[in-house]
Chain A
């Protein structure tokens, strides 16, 4: 079974600075997808960014980018120019590329942004 590990329960960053959230995963598959979700205090789960495993190029969405290291099974999220609205729980998730399977989530990292 696939597992997703987020080793940082909590992180903090100064406003306008850059922060990187770590995620590693364990799988024997070669075809899969990786996601980062944000959960603000409102409890909504919001997709931040996603990556296809067969693509070597790292995904980028505005201030959010990933560092995808397939051999190391690492999928970190970098947030640049951090804003107060970035404060939230961040979840890394894995989905198999075979069949129609659910997401497997990490336990999350709580990010605080300091003004």
Chain B
């Protein structure tokens, strides 16, 4: 039972390069989320997909795009990476109901030089 799988686990980019972070869940969850975690800032929501076919902006969407490819997969794309996007990125999924917890992937540490 893999849960939420993120790839890659680590990545170093140069400023201006593009990159897609992949996320897949095998729990048949309707909702998926992308967060970034920076020191002292907690987890901030970038984008989320409440259900297949829908996406919505979160707190810090600038510089990112997302694609809900199907119910299982939700990718995050950096079109032109900037040093300010150096962070740890977490994907999560949950059932639609509010009481259901979010299940998180192990994170992707992304460094942009």
Contacts and interface: CB of A to CB of B under 8 A. Distances in A.
A100 B33 CA distance: 12
A38 to B, nearest CB: 11
A102 B33 contact: yes
A44 B30 contact: no
Secondary structure at the A interface, as helix, strand, loop or mixed, is: loop
A52 B99 contact: yes
Given A100-B51, A100-B96, A106 B42 contact: yes
A91 B58 CA distance: 18
A107 B27 CA distance: 28
Contacts of A9: 40
Contact of A43 (B41, B44, B107): B107
Q: In the complex, which range does the number of interface residues on chain A fall in?
A: 20 to 34
A95 B41 contact: no
Interface string A72-103: 00000000000000000001000111111111
Interface of B: 30-31, 33, 35, 40-45, 48, 50-51, 58, 88, 90, 92, 96, 98-99, 101-102, 104, 106-107
Given A97-B98, A104-B45, 20 more contacts: A9-B40, A33-B99, A42-B106, A43-B106, A44-B104, A45-B92, A47-B101, A95-B98, A96-B98, A100-B96, A101-B98, A102-B58, A102-B102, A103-B33, A103-B43, A105-B42, A105-B43, A106-B42, A107-B40, A107-B41
Interface of A: 9, 32-33, 35, 42-45, 47, 50, 52, 91, 95-108
